[in-house]
């Protein structure tokens, strides 16, 4: 009998539900982002004290992936719900996971005011420049010229106005302790994203204020691109409009 | 116990604090802004949660978040701003969260005005949220009842894990009368088996309303309606006044009952056989009581400070057994005792 | 029916709502049923304020009535606005420092007193409201100076308790105001 030594080189984070499979479209970055969140929760030993807030959009079934307590908020209201959770449970770790439509369109008031109040919560916003779940319509982050189902001729100034720079706006709020924009287009950027997520968690734990990270992500299905082309689009088109970087760190 | 002269708004706020409210989240609107003002001071003194929300939409969702952790939390608002909360009330009902909403009615529709009104009976009992759901609705008629029913709102919300509205009006909220602040009389309801408290030494929990599988959605709604049946069987509350041998029963809710009662007293002195039935729980509605009284009385007269909202529920309950008439006025100064007596005499004649 | 109601009206800043609260507290201390109802919100922005106190041996029948047994008018606008609301045989107490002594109705009782001037005699113009309560106690017999004084103790916040002595003087000044001019007309 031959003895073999098995060495575990890769495992699923404990903060992800065991045996869970992401239902996202091929090439979508949601799965990577949620995995990063779970990894940081594991590494910071936060799973047992976490109450996550899910939003409306492709991110809605967060509770099917994260193995933490979780509440679903109505559309756009994740940071209001998170405020309610945190204010009545100061010892808990509270995070929201939202899309750009939820965070910066319907929920812009809730998002900005949570930042202005300096809520001790961590917010993660996935920016894929479109309303993904409803089938790829123009959203608040759709870039100029981008063709979507509701901008068939491309986003123009006359009909649509301009996209919002979320990380920059959040950085302007005095209650914000950390605001960054990251991307998942490369291994190096995935690593940076993970560090940004860690930072948003740390500022909450240290009681410094609102922690925020905007993650540029792909939507191959609605962009009508392959996964690889999608990441190329992130690099070639989105980086110019949405530069990566840390916009505020106290 | 010594009596204290107190406004309806302050009575509600102090009662909420006595009931153990852990968090108040609100946005000002006349005629209930004094609740938030009172809370901003007292909650901070007690080191409980208080947030000046950026909107009523944010406020109700803060309450949703707080209540999902088993905290006792509330908001208060009025009419056009309660309208903003309807989406979340539907979520809260689906999520089975013990939310308390104090709704102080002013005049509508639209911005209307700050005059007192009872025009939000439909808004509270039927609601404008989507889907099949019910909200427990309690309607105080005196400042003392503002206290007693605030206590009850917290208790019923917790007991049934169901959103509960305390439906007051501008007159009741702004007026003062002597009251006694008795202690919160209800038992505490355990939250350990459902609340989000962090997945420590137990499986993780989620509270959500999304249910993509048809059979499971049907099951969830059935579960809700089994609960509503329990509420309807166990929690109906009403005030019955001089209904014995009454040929005419005047029925009303909230603070207009004071005027109606005085009218009944004066009519009785004149020898008219008149009584009053006042639902205290607007949901669950005292349907059986109306059916019972319909067997002995000849007529019902529904009096409301609106253009006729509760009268629909009265008619549904009475179901044609005897005539049901309506007398009301949209907003402003409450119908006087004299107006009510005149209407009783006209209708009785 | 033993029910009586009082409307107190004047400018914002004259302590109208406070006077009403003191009166309602006094009636509560007298173990009567009582309600206090203010004009509220935007209605106050025009500069006039009023509140209504209803007291009864039985339950108060209604909080906001169409007419009144007693009216205290501390300025001209309030006098003009509420005089038609006074019941026949009712009393109006008017601040003659600010209200013209014109008796447009013959079916009611008038008490014109220079309330602002009296307050100035006490060195505190803001105490007009309390002087008017002394006048009301005298002509209405709804409550006593003693009950009103105890009521002030209920109503004044801790940091204003030093004003209790002055308030008692104001109540007595109102209560002892000579009614002779009224009897003469």
Could you report the per-residue pLDDT of C57-86, keeping only the tens digit for each?
A: 999 999 999 999 999 999 999 999 999 999
Question: What integer is the mean pLDDT of C147-160?
Answer: 95
Asked if C28 lies within 8 A of B114 by C-beta distance, the reply is no
- Cα–Cα dist A179/A196, whole Å: 9
Q: Which long-range contacts (CB under 8 A, 24 or more apart) does C75-83 make?
A: C75/C9, C75/C10, C75/C11, C75/C14, C75/C48, C75/C99, C76/C100, C77/C47, C77/C48, C78/C9, C78/C10, C78/C48, C78/C50, C81/C9, C81/C48, C82/C7, C82/C9, C82/C50, C83/C108
Chain B nearest-CA distance from C11, in A, is: 19
| Chain C CB contacts of B337 below 8 Å | 61-62
**Cα C176 from Cα C115, distance rounded (Å):** 13
Residues of A in contact with B87 (CB under 8 A): 74
Full residue range of the structural domain in which residue A74 is found: 30-249
Contacts of A68 in chain B (CB under 8 A): 198-199, 204
User: Is 70 exceeded by the pLDDT of residue C5?
Assistant: yes
Q: What is the mean pLDDT of residues B162-176?
A: 97
State whether ipTM is beyond 0.90. Answer: yes
Q: Are chains C and B in touch, 3+ Cβ pairs below 8 Å?
A: yes
Task: For residue A234, give the DSSP letter.
Answer: I
Contact B246, B294 (CB under 8 A): no
CB A84 to CB B91 under 8 A? no
Structure confidence at residue A1 (pLDDT)? 63
Outline where chain B has alpha helix (H).
8-18, 33-45, 56-68, 79-83, 86-95, 121-125, 143-160, 170-174, 214-234, 257-269, 287-294, 310-318, 337-348
Cα–Cα distance for residue pair B151/B14, rounded to 1 Å: 10
Give the B-side interface with A, CB within 8 Å: 22-23, 25, 49-51, 53-55, 57-59, 61-69, 71, 73, 87-88, 91, 95, 196-200, 204-210
CA-based nearest residue in chain B for residue A68:
B204
Neighbours of chain C (3+ CB pairs under 8 A): B
Q: What is the DSSP letter of C70?
A: E
Strand partners, B74: B24, B100
The mean pLDDT of A57-74, rounded to a whole number, is 96
Q: Answer for the pair B137, B93: CB distance below 8 angstroms, yes or no.
A: no
Q: Which domains does chain B have, with CATH numbers?
A: 4-198+223-234 (3.40.50.970), 238-348 (3.40.50.920)
Higher pLDDT, C14 or A122: A122
Phi, psi of B215, deg, nearest 5:
-65, -35
Place B85 in a pLDDT band, splitting at 50, 70 and 90: very high
Q: How confident is the model at residue C1 (pLDDT cuts 50, 70, 90)?
A: low
* Nearest of A211, A209, A212, A231 to residue A220 by alpha carbon: A231
For residue C184, pLDDT over 60 is answered with: no
Inter-chain CB proximity A70 and B58 less than 8 Å: no
Q: What is the CATH number of the domain that holds C37?
A: 3.40.920.10
Considering only CB atoms, A87 lies closest to which of B51, B59, B206, namely B51
Domain that holds residue C63: 4-184
Q: Which residue matches tokens 């305390």?
A: B166
Instruction: Give the whole-angstrom CA distance, residue B88 versus residue B249.
Output: 37
The answer to whether residues B267 and B274 touch, using CB atoms and an 8 Å cutoff, is: yes
Q: Which has more pLDDT, A15 or B114? A: A15
Spell out which residues of chain B touch residue C40, defining contact as CB-CB under 8 Å: 30-31, 114, 170, 174
Separation between Cα atoms, residue A118 and residue A209, nearest integer Å? 5
- Find chain B residues with C-beta within 8 A of A13's C-beta: none
Among A81, A97, A107, A111, which would you mutate to test the B interface (most chain B Cβ atoms within 10 Å of its Cβ)? A81
Distance CA B261, CA B263 (A): 5
C-alpha span between A92 and C103 (Å, rounded): 71
Interchain contact C165–B (C-beta under 8 A): no
Question: Tokens 């910066």 label which residue?
Answer: A104
Residue whose entry in the numeric block shows the structure tokens 């009389």: B185
Domain with A72 in it: what CATH number?
3.40.50.970
Confidence (pLDDT) at A102: 97
* Angle, CA of B329, B77 and B309, to the nearest 5°: 30
pLDDT single digits (tens) A166-189: 999 999 999 999 999 999 999 999
Domain annotation covers residue A17: no
Nearest residue on chain B to A82, alpha-carbon basis: B65
The total number of structural domains that make up chain C: 1
**What does the pLDDT average to over A89-117?**
98
Region B126-135: mean pLDDT is 97
Q: What is the mean pLDDT of residues B47-76?
A: 98
Rounded to a whole number of angstroms, the distance from the CA of B108 to the nearest CA of chain A is 26
Tell me what the pLDDT averaged over chain B comes to.
97
CB pair distance less than 8 Å for A63 and B200: no
Residue with tokens 């808990």: A92
pLDDT class for C185, splitting at 50, 70, 90? very low
Average pLDDT rounded to a whole number, residues B262-277: 96
DSSP string, B200-243: SSS---EE-----SHHHHHHHHHHHHHHHHHHHHH---EEEES-
Q: Do B61 and A87 touch (CB under 8 A)?
A: no
Q: Is A203 a residue whose pLDDT tops 90?
A: yes
Domain count, chain A: 1
With CB atoms and an 8 Å threshold, state whether A69 touches B62. no
Residue of C nearest to B334 (CA): C64
pLDDT at C183: 47
Question: In b/e form, how buried is each residue of A1-27, taking b as 16+ CB within 10 angstroms?
Answer: eeeeeeeeeeeebebbbeeeeeebbeb
In whole angstroms, give the CA distance from residue C75 to residue B85: 43
Instruction: Say whether pLDDT at B307 is over 50.
Output: yes
Residue C44: predicted pLDDT: 53
What sign for the dihedral angle of Cα B185, B48, B100, B328? positive
Place of tokens 């899309």: A99
Q: What element of type H or E holds B251? A: strand B248-251
Report the share of chain B in percent with pLDDT over 70.
100
Q: What is the pLDDT of residues B4-18, one digit of tens each?
A: 999 999 999 999 999
Number of H helices, E strands in chain B: 13, 16
Report the pLDDT averaged over residues C88-111: 96
Whether the CB of C60 is below 8 Å from some CB of chain B: the reply is: yes
Contact C68, C85 (CB under 8 A): yes
Q: From chain B, pick out residues whose CB is under 8 angstroms from the CB of C24.
A: 5, 176
**Mean predicted confidence (pLDDT) in A134-162:** 97
Question: How many H helices and E strands in chain C?
Answer: 7, 6
Predicted confidence (pLDDT) at residue A3 exceeds the cutoff of 80? no
* Interface subset of C 3-22, CB within 8 angstroms of B: 21
Average pLDDT over residues A53-77: 96
- Per-residue pLDDT at C181 exceeds 60: no
């Amino acid at each position: 009998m031959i003895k073999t030594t098995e060495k575990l080189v890769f495992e699923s984070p404990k903060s992800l539900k065991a045996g869970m499979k992401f239902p996202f479209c091929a090439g979508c970055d949601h799965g990577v982002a949620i995995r990063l969140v779970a990894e940081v929760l594991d590494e910071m030993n936060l799973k047992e004290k976490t109450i996550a807030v899910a939003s409306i959009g492709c991110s809605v079934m967060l509770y099917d992936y994260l193995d933490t307590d979780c509440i679903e908020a109505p559309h756009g209201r994740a940071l209001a719900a998170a405020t309610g959770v945190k204010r009545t449970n100061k010892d808990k770790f509270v995070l929201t996971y939202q899309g750009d439509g939820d965070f910066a369109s319907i929920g812009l008031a809730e998002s900005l005011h949570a930042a202005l109040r300096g809520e001790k919560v961590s917010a993660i916003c996935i920016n894929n420049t479109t309303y993904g779940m409803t089938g790829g319509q123009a959203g608040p982050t759709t870039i100029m010229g981008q063709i979507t189902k509701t901008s068939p001729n491309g986003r123009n100034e006359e009909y649509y106005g301009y996209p919002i720079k979320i990380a920059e706006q959040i950085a302007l709020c005095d209650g914000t302790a950390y605001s960054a924009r990251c991307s998942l287009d490369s291994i190096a950027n995935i690593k940076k994203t993970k560090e940004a997520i860690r930072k948003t968690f740390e500022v909450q734990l240290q009681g410094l204020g609102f922690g925020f990270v905007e993650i540029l992500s792909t939507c191959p299905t609605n962009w009508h691109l392959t996964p690889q082309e999608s990441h190329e689009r992130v690099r070639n088109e989105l980086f110019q409009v949405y530069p990566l970087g840390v916009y505020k760190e106290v | 116990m010594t009596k204290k002269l107190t406004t309806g708004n302050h009575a509600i706020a102090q009662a909420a604090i006595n009931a153990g409210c852990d968090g108040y989240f609100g946005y000002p609107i006349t005629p209930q802004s004094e609740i938030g003002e009172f809370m901003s001071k007292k909650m901070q003194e007690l080191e409980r949660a208080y947030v000046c929300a950026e909107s009523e939409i944010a406020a109700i969702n803060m309450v949703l978040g707080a209540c999902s952790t088993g905290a006792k939390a509330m908001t208060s608002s009025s009419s056009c701003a309660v309208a903003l909360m309807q989406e979340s009330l539907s979520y809260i009902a689906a999520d089975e969260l013990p939310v308390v909403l104090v709704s102080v009615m002013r005049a509508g529709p639209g911005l209307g005005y700050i005059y007192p009104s009872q025009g939000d009976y439909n808004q509270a009992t039927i609601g404008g949220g989507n889907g099949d759901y019910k909200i427990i609705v309690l309607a105080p008629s005196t400042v003392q009842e503002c206290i007693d029913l605030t206590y009850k709102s917290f208790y019923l919300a917790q007991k049934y894990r169901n959103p509960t509205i305390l439906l007051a009006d501008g007159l009741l909220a702004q007026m003062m009368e002597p009251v006694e602040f008795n202690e919160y009389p209800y038992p505490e309801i355990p939250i350990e088996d459902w609340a989000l408290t962090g997945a420590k030494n137990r499986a993780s929990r989620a509270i959500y309303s999304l249910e993509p599988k048809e059979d499971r959605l049907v099951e969830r709604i059935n579960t809700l309606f089994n609960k509503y049946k329990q509420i309807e069987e166990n929690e109906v509350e009403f005030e019955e006044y001089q209904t014995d041998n009454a040929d005419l029963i005047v029925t009303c809710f909230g603070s207009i009952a004071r005027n109606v009662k005085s009218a009944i007293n004066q009519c009785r002195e004149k020898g008219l056989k008149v009584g009053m039935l006042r639902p205290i729980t607007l949901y669950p509605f005292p349907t059986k009581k109306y059916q019972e009284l319909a067997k002995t009385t000849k007529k019902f007269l529904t009096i409301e400070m609106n253009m006729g909202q509760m009268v629909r529920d009265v008619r549904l309950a009475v179901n044609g057994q005897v005539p049901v008439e309506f007398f009301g006025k949209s907003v402003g100064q409450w119908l006087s005792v004299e107006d009510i007596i005149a209407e009783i005499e006209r209708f009785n004649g | 029916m033993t029910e009586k109601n009082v409307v107190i009206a004047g400018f914002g800043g004259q302590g109208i709502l406070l006077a009403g609260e003191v009166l309602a507290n006094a009636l509560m201390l007298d173990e009567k049923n009582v309600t206090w109802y203010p004009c509220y919100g935007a209605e106050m922005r025009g500069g006039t304020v009023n509140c209504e106190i209803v007291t009864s041996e039985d339950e108060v029948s209604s909080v906001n009535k169409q007419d009144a047994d007693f009216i205290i008018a501390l300025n001209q606008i309030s006098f003009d606005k509420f005089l038609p609301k006074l019941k026949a045989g009712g009393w109006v107490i008017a601040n003659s420092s600010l209200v013209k002594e014109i008796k447009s109705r013959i079916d009611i009782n008038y008490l014109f007193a220079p309330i602002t001037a009296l307050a100035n005699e006490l060195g505190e113009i803001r105490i007009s409201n309390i002087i008017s309560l002394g006048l009301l106690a005298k002509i209405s017999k709804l409550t006593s100076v003693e009950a009103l004084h105890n009521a002030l103790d209920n109503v004044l916040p801790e940091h204003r308790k030093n004003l209790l002595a002055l308030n008692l003087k104001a109540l007595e000044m109102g209560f002892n105001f000579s009614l002779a001019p009224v009897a003469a007309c």
